[in-house]
């Protein structure tokens, strides 16, 4: 997997967490508390896309996400990346 591919998947993961947080209508401070981390640590990890697969799954569990569709994620984010500003 090349660096561009890794960047894309980090982007997909980052946007997936942001979208699921929005759907769950949970404040980032409440989510951070449930995860046992500081709110600024949570924000930094998500903003930079620097988190492990385990952290990604843990957040999804706390948010109550039962399934994700990889094809949908890729399609949605590729559409965003290709749309003109």
Q: What are the extents of the domains in the chain?
A: 3-82
In this predicted structure, the answer to whether residue 4 has a pLDDT above a threshold of 80 is no
Query: What's the pLDDT tens digit per position in 16-72?
Result: 999 999 999 999 999 999 999 999 999 999 988 889 999 999 999 999 999 988 888
Distances (CA, A) of 75 to 14, 61, 62: 15, 23, 25
Count other C-beta atoms under 10 Å from residue 66's C-beta. 7
In this predicted structure, the answer to whether residue 76 has a pLDDT above a threshold of 90 is no
User: What SS3 string covers the chain?
Assistant: CCHHHHHHHHHHHHHHHHHHHHHHCCCHHHHHHHHCCCHHHHHHHHHHCCCCHHHHHHHHHHHCCCCCCHHHHHHHHHHHHHCCC
């Amino acid at each position: 997997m090349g660096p561009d591919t890794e960047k894309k998947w980090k982007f997909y993961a980052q946007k997936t967490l942001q979208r699921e947080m929005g759907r769950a209508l949970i404040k980032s401070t409440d989510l951070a508390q449930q995860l046992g981390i500081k709110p600024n640590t949570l924000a930094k990890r998500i903003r930079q896309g620097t988190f492990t697969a385990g952290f990604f799954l843990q957040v999804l569990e706390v948010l109550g996400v039962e399934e994700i569709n990889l094809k949908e994620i890729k399609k949605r984010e590729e559409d965003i990346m290709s749309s003109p500003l």
